[in-house]
Amino acid sequence: MTMKVTVKDIQQAHARIAPHIHRTPILQSSALNKIIGCELFFKAENFQKIGAFKARGGCNAIFSMDQASLQKGVVTHSSGNHGAALAWAAALRGAPCTVVMPDNAPLVKIAAVKGYGANILLCEPTMAAREQAVATAISEHGFTLVHPFDNDVIIAGQGTAALEMLEQIDQPVDIVMAPIGGGGLLGGTSIYAKGMSDAQVIGAEPEGAKDAWLGFKNGERLAEYSPNTIADGLRATVGVRNFAAIIDNVDDILLCSEARIVEAMRLIWTRLKVIIEPSCAVPLAAIMDQPEQFQGKRVAIILTGGNVDLDALPW
Amino acid sequence: MTMKVTVKDIQQAHARIAPHIHRTPILQSSALNKIIGCELFFKAENFQKIGAFKARGGCNAIFSMDQASLQKGVVTHSSGNHGAALAWAAALRGAPCTVVMPDNAPLVKIAAVKGYGANILLCEPTMAAREQAVATAISEHGFTLVHPFDNDVIIAGQGTAALEMLEQIDQPVDIVMAPIGGGGLLGGTSIYAKGMSDAQVIGAEPEGAKDAWLGFKNGERLAEYSPNTIADGLRATVGVRNFAAIIDNVDDILLCSEARIVEAMRLIWTRLKVIIEPSCAVPLAAIMDQPEQFQGKRVAIILTGGNVDLDALPW
């Protein structure tokens, strides 16, 4: 039986990582509010270190470790922001960091991880190959695995975005929203928001990656699912600890179409004037696909990151 | 003989418009600082009302007017942000606003001005046709002209961005920079920064629109110039009052190439995660084209706006 992450864990994580991360701003647009019909607050984690909220979990993981384990080093597998986050955080404490990446990962992502000083192990682009490479690295070098989401210290770290967001918005909000990939962000967000506010907590997922939605509706996590969505940050299958936190603390999960994700992404670009990844647009897309319950409400949304390929925009 | 705009005018303008505009944030990126070799502070006027600093001047113009003139209405000609700014500000006081626009203006810009409730007069796309249409509207309706830049109340309004910027950066800066179009922004910025700080004030202009640079080097304003630059916000020829303010308060004007503007724009998009117009990138491009004098310096730059066509990006 695992212990569950608590509000106190998230508060302690925040104290631990606050000196190293950005306290990102809340963005608003009256023009966008008018279009959507509710008052929207966006927590701009696209301005976070490494360009995504993942810096929070990575930093909490590294700064929770003892010196002996740190000296041996950490390892993870990632094709995206978690690898950069762990590499960045490990460098802050001078810890060796190895990131297993699929050999079809974009060169720019490999370069980013390398830029933070991590050692990169390329493997075949399958989950089995990734896990095998990680297991080998652990047995050979005694590295500590930092799982990207199914990991209490990561969930607590990601929950610090909601902590700041609710502090920064000076009136109560009606609804807190975050997208769902592996569930690190929504796990931490829902634990904090449910524990510390009266807000409804709603997750948002693309129709093409609705493993969490299916699990939530059926009361049982899906272990296997093949996602197909433009929201590249949300292609992971929700983790065990993450699913448990979501079942306990999330009021509903809403879906949205791919076309709506692109429309919502473009609305955020043009109205808020910020660069966001497609994953960020999923909560707004879900609102636009089922607007009734949001009309006139105060809705707080976490914008997850801004690492997007400017040469491959979806319009 | 005209009176010159003073620091006090800018302070009064700020008190006048502060309830209506956004106090936009200062953005920084340690990764970008490392690349460029100096400490950069960006005043994010792309987050301003109507998506550009022009809201400041427009608001100051409207809130400086007496009720009788306001009731008759205001007029300007603009193919860009000034028209939207004046329409937005006029709506705040319920004043009729007419914007003369060239009939080849992008539909999205016409729609934006219309969206703020202004009356639009389309004319042929020449400066003579624009001025004729404005003159006719004034003689027929008694409108007050609000010139987009060669206008003291506009210069004072645009200077409020520098006022906030220097307040927000909690240590002295070495250099303050702004791009030059008609010179409303650089005029106001230079008056304030030279009067209230020890910073050097440097203007930046594309090589393809270097009328201010030529005038500055020769000591005489160019009244006629045909610009050719991607930086659409900087295609105006510097105004009489603006040129006088620049001669008095600006230490130097630097040029940059078109290719560097695109490179700098993309750097800001990817590192700061914000949407900016090409005009915004001109100061950073000028730094990159002549980096020596900036090395290790603290440089504050005004990002002018974020109204860009996402379907026509320059990469």
Q: Indicate the residue of A273, A310, A315 with minimum beta-carbon distance to B306.
A: A273
Distance from CA of B274 to the nearest CA of A (A): 4
Share of chain A above pLDDT 90, in %: 89
Cβ pair A310:B315 closer than 8 A: yes
| Structure confidence by residue, pLDDT tens digits, B241-282 | 999 999 999 999 999 999 999 999 999 999 999 999 999 999
pLDDT in the model for residue A270: 94
Q: Establish if A275 touches chain B: CB-CB under 8 angstroms.
A: yes
Instruction: Return the structure tokens found at A241.
Output: 């600890």
Cβ pair B273:A315 closer than 8 A: no
pLDDT in the model for residue B2: 58
Task: Tell me the residues of chain B between 8 and 27 that have a Cβ less than 8 Å away from chain A.
Answer: 25, 27
pLDDT in the model for residue A44: 97
pLDDT in the model for residue B312: 87
Q: Indicate the residue of B270, B274, B310 with minimum beta-carbon distance to A274.
A: B274
Task: Report the chain B residue with the minimal C-alpha distance to residue A305.
Answer: B273
pLDDT in the model for residue A230: 93
C-alpha torsion B247→B249→B254→B258, nearest 10: -90
Q: Establish if B275 touches chain A: CB-CB under 8 angstroms.
A: yes
pLDDT in the model for residue A108: 79
Q: Establish if B46 touches chain A: CB-CB under 8 angstroms.
A: yes
User: CA-CA distance, A30 to A271, in Å (whole number)?
Assistant: 9
CB-CB neighbors (< 8 A) of A47 in chain B: 27, 272-273
pLDDT in the model for residue B126: 84
CATH number of the domain located at residue range(s) A55-150 in this protein: 3.40.50.1100
CB-CB neighbors (< 8 A) of B276 in chain A: 273
The topology under which CATH files domain B55-149 is: Rossmann fold (3.40.50)
pLDDT in the model for residue A90: 98
B8 touches B191 (CB < 8 A): no
The full DSSP string for B139-180 is: HHH-PEE--SSSSHHHHHHHTHHHHHHHHHSSS--SEEEEE-
Instruction: Specify the CATH class of A7-52+153-303 in words.
Output: alpha beta
pLDDT in the model for residue A106: 79
Nearest to A299 by CA among A191, A175, A205, A184: A175
Q: Establish if A306 touches chain B: CB-CB under 8 angstroms.
A: yes
Q: Indicate the residue of A25, A272, A310 with minimum beta-carbon distance to B269.
A: A310
Whether the predicted model's global pTM rises above the 0.90 cut = yes
Asked whether residue A117 carries a pLDDT value surpassing 50, the answer given is yes
Cβ pair B273:A47 closer than 8 A: yes
Burial annotation A101-119 (CB, 10 A radius, 16+ → b, else e): bbeebeeebbebbeebebe
Asked whether residue A114 carries a pLDDT value surpassing 90, the answer given is yes
pLDDT band at A177 (very low <50, low <70, confident <90, very high): very high
| Structure confidence by residue, pLDDT tens digits, A45-103 | 999 999 999 999 999 999 999 999 999 999 999 878 999 999 999 999 999 999 999 88
Mutate to test the interface with B, among A273, A279, A303, A315 (most CBs of B within 10 A): A273
Distance from CA of B28 to the nearest CA of A (A): 10
What count of residues does chain B have? 315
Asked whether residue A1 carries a pLDDT value surpassing 50, the answer given is no
DSSP label at residue A220:
S
pLDDT band at A2 (very low <50, low <70, confident <90, very high): low
The boundaries of every CATH 3.40.50.1100 domain in chain B are 7-52+153-303, 55-149
The boundaries of every CATH 3.40.50.1100 domain in chain A are 7-52+153-303, 55-150
Q: Please give the average per-residue pLDDT across A188-197, as a whole number.
A: 98
Mutate to test the interface with A, among B45, B108, B273 (most CBs of A within 10 A): B273
Contacts of B14 (CB under 8 A, 6+ apart): B160, B163, B164
What does pLDDT average to over chain A? 95
| Structure confidence by residue, pLDDT tens digits, A160-171 | 999 999 999 999
Q: Establish if A313 touches chain B: CB-CB under 8 angstroms.
A: yes
Q: Establish if A116 touches chain B: CB-CB under 8 angstroms.
A: no
| Structure confidence by residue, pLDDT tens digits, A255-269 | 999 999 999 999 999
User: Regarding predicted confidence, which is higher, B91 or A112?
Assistant: B91
Q: Establish if A53 touches chain B: CB-CB under 8 angstroms.
A: no
CB-CB neighbors (< 8 A) of B272 in chain A: 47
Q: Establish if B270 touches chain A: CB-CB under 8 angstroms.
A: yes
Cβ pair A47:B266 closer than 8 A: no
Task: Report the chain B residue with the minimal C-alpha distance to residue A270.
Answer: B307
CB contacts < 8 A, A to B, total 40
Cβ pair B273:A269 closer than 8 A: no
Q: What residues in chain B have per-residue pLDDT under 50?
A: 1
Q: β-pairing, A175-179 with A200-206? A: parallel
